[in-house]
Chains A and B, each alone.
Chain A
Amino acid sequence: MKLGAAQTPTASTPVIPVLEGRELTKSFWVKQGRGLLAGKARVHAVESVSIRLDPGRVTALVGESGAGKTTVGRLLAKIIKPDGGEVLLDGRPAPPGRPRAYAAQVQMVFQDPFASLNPVHRVRHHLVRPLQIHHMASGDLEAAVDELLRRVALKPPAHFAAKFPHELSGGQRQRVAIARGLAVRPRVLIADEPVSMLDVSIRLGVLNLLADLRDRENLAILYVTHDIASARYLADTIMVMYAGQLVEAAPSVSLTDRPAHPYTQLLLAAAPDPDRAERPALAAHGAPPSLLAPPSGCRFHPRCPYVMEICKRQVPPSVAVASDHSAACWLHVDPNERRVNETGLPATTTARDLLDQRN
């Protein structure tokens, strides 16, 4: 399945993405149970996910917990090694391991700013270390720290540099964490749920900061989130993941306005929306499958209201439903081209029907 990377680049995006993941696959061995009593089981966390990050653009990776979105972020940051697929930096395969040169290009911001800053060190330490490691600003460290804090709108910088993390509010901590990511002047920032642990009233501030960095510094940003509304607000492109697979990718507005995949529709229907006149009726129920033994074919098929026989057998291909909008769903494949002939089910359902049904 190719999604995102396979789509035709729009006019505004350059041909070579700054960072690209191709067919990334990763499974984990997890302990079941606790301590010495544990056994092991294999979790198929990410299955053949392709994704591209372009300079000056925010790509959002949206999904429920366990969908594998964080794993994709970590694969791209090379914190973990993929079992299959490759990571390309500027179109060239990134060197194995995680050399410092790669760290200088791709940085990460973590979900919990209460956990991502070391409680025993001052803010200055968190910013000075990356500068020292990467021999940036060898001349005037203090000035470099000041400038970093200014870039994330923590003023006066000297005041914040001397603080311990616990003396800062959640939003300020997350800004420090972003400043740390920016210290090495990376071209890619991977932000893993950067606002989900923050108070509602300060989330927008952090999202706006990311948007600002994208516009001013031409950063390529991967915004990993479970909140599709915030993805729509911040991101240029949204990619939706379900149970380790990409199911849909499109520019954010067209994805949220015209979702093509039944799962994306479900997500949107379930999301809180005060503008809605009536409470939504969910078309599908249940929970994402266990990734220890994912369902065959399309992983969404056990919950899909439009399930067909072929969905149970074959992984759906990525189909272009519009010029820059792709979905991995059999409904969008021409019924004549669905190679497995399913019986007893309406083979004539098309994407059009699906959308009509929704609207």
Chain B
Amino acid sequence: MRALLRRLGVYLLAAWVALTVSFLLPRVVPGNPVAGAVARASQSGNCNSQCVEAIEAQLGFNVHTSLWDQYVQYWGNLGHGNLGQSWSENASVSSLIISYLPWTLGLLLIATAVSFIAGTAVGVLMAWRRGSWLDWVLPVATFFSALPYFFLALVLVLILGKTGTMLKVFPSLFGYDIYGVTPGLNGPYIASIIGHAILPAVTVVLASTAGFILAMRNNMITTMDEDFVLVAQAKGLPARRVIWYAARNALLPVIANFTVAISLVVAGQILVEIVFNYPGIGFHLYDALGKLDYSLVQGIFVVITLVVLAANLLADVVYVLIDPRARQMA
């Protein structure tokens, strides 16, 4: 348990750093870019004087209390789940994020699960069948791992998307058919959600699987050279069992490096949501940036950070569960 608590400490510290950076930046950057944003916000029709005040308080503009007092207040607000007011949507940031989050989390969970399982399996296969046609997966996977997510998204839209020019198979805009179905627990709505999630999910899976394939293949090749695999073969175990032994060990570094992987996937998904106008937090981050809705930007950043840290903690728990050496210490 101690080990996990220690990791938790690191993540809490990371969260503190991230949140403090997002607090300090608008206040310390020279020339205060926030001033312009506040001015623009107050000029637009959506933001009344109350709303302007809220933004000013949020970003520390025209606020005459000390930086420390603002900081204390900032944490107080965060503690109450109060992330401020979005002027562009005229709603509280936290309620907005709660409405965006299911889209993002759903897509993220499904896509990551699929790409992790598929990537790991293909990586294991490649190490198993060395020198077979599967070797061609390597350069292809390399190419895909180098593709930016959003570019891949554009290509898929072009080829498969209904807004593209070629096959026009899958819907490629929004999270569901906003004109044809009514949100709620009804069949058409759910079918529409699934249909609209296909292309974004395929994009994330295609782009992120390559990384898992390469990592797993390399670990497997290294692990297959270990003596315990040799012993498993000497025991006359069937190849499948030998591979399972090796794979279970080879998986450990992949999970240990999940931190990096999940950050990349989250970053990629933000861009994918933008391309597909998918109503998750990534798309709304982009939207808020365009509208200079700083409180929303800040709130989304906080939530993304927390989601990633939670995913990391989950990976650590899994690691401890499958590695007895870590379990002993934990």
Q: Residue on A with the closest CB to B6?
A: A36
Specify which of B7, B10, B320, B329 is in contact with A38 (CB 8 Å cutoff).
Answer: B329
Q: Are A39 and B326 in contact (CB under 8 A)?
A: no
Residues from chain B with a CB closer than 8 A to the CB of A34 are: 325-326, 329
A292 to B263, CA, bound (A): 41
Residues from chain A with a CB closer than 8 A to the CB of B326 are: 33-34, 37
Residues from chain A with a CB closer than 8 A to the CB of B303 are: none
A8 at the interface (CB under 8 A from B): no
Specify which of A33, A36, A39 is in contact with B325 (CB 8 Å cutoff).
Answer: A33
Q: Which of A32, A33, A39 has the most CB of B within 10 A?
A: A33
> Min CB distance, B272 to chain A, in Å?
32
Q: Residue on B with the closest CB to A31?
A: B329
Residues from chain A with a CB closer than 8 A to the CB of B2 are: 37, 39
Q: Which of A32, A36, A37, A38 has the most CB of B within 10 A?
A: A37
> Min CB distance, B150 to chain A, in Å?
34
A36 to B3, CA, bound (A): 7
Q: Are B328 and A33 in contact (CB under 8 A)?
A: yes
B330 at the interface (CB under 8 A from A): yes
Task: Please tell me the size bucket of the interface on B.
Answer: 10 to 19
> Min CB distance, B12 to chain A, in Å?
14
Q: Residue on B with the closest CB to A38?
A: B329
> Min CB distance, A38 to chain B, in Å?
7
Residues from chain B with a CB closer than 8 A to the CB of A38 are: 3, 329
Residues from chain A with a CB closer than 8 A to the CB of B7 are: 36
- Chain A contacts with B in 28-46, Cβ cutoff 8 A: 32-34, 36-39
Residues from chain A with a CB closer than 8 A to the CB of B329 are: 32-34, 37-39
Q: Residue on B with the closest CB to A33?
A: B329
Residues from chain A with a CB closer than 8 A to the CB of B3 are: 33, 36-38
A222 to B22, CA, bound (A): 61
Q: Which of B325, B328, B329 has the most CB of A within 10 A?
A: B329
| B 41-59 to A, binary, CB cutoff 8 A, 1 in contact else 0 | 0000000000000000000
Q: Residue on A with the closest CB to B319?
A: A37
> Min CB distance, A42 to chain B, in Å?
17
- Chain B contacts with A in 1-45, Cβ cutoff 8 A: 2-3, 6-7, 10
Residues from chain A with a CB closer than 8 A to the CB of B330 are: 37
A237 to B330, CA, bound (A): 47
Residues from chain B with a CB closer than 8 A to the CB of A33 are: 3, 325-326, 328-329
Q: Residue on A with the closest CB to B10?
A: A36
Q: Residue on A with the closest CB to B7?
A: A36
Residues from chain A with a CB closer than 8 A to the CB of B6 are: 36-37
- Chain B contacts with A in 281-330, Cβ cutoff 8 A: 320, 325-326, 328-330
A34 to B326, CA, bound (A): 7
> Min CB distance, A37 to chain B, in Å?
3
A38 to B2, CA, bound (A): 9
A204 to B228, CA, bound (A): 35
A37 to B6, CA, bound (A): 8
> Min CB distance, B9 to chain A, in Å?
10
Q: Which of A34, A36, A39 has the most CB of B within 10 A?
A: A36
Q: Residue on A with the closest CB to B330?
A: A37
Q: Residue on A with the closest CB to B326?
A: A37
- Chain B contacts with A in 77-121, Cβ cutoff 8 A: none
A37 to B326, CA, bound (A): 7
- Chain A contacts with B in 102-117, Cβ cutoff 8 A: none
Going nearest first, the 9 A-B pairs with the smallest beta carbon separation are A33-B329, A37-B3, A37-B329, A37-B326, A36-B6, A37-B330, A34-B325, A36-B7, A39-B329
Known pairs A36-B10, A37-B2, A37-B3; list 10 more (Cβ under 8 Å): A33-B326, A33-B329, A34-B326, A34-B329, A36-B7, A37-B320, A37-B329, A37-B330, A38-B329, A39-B2
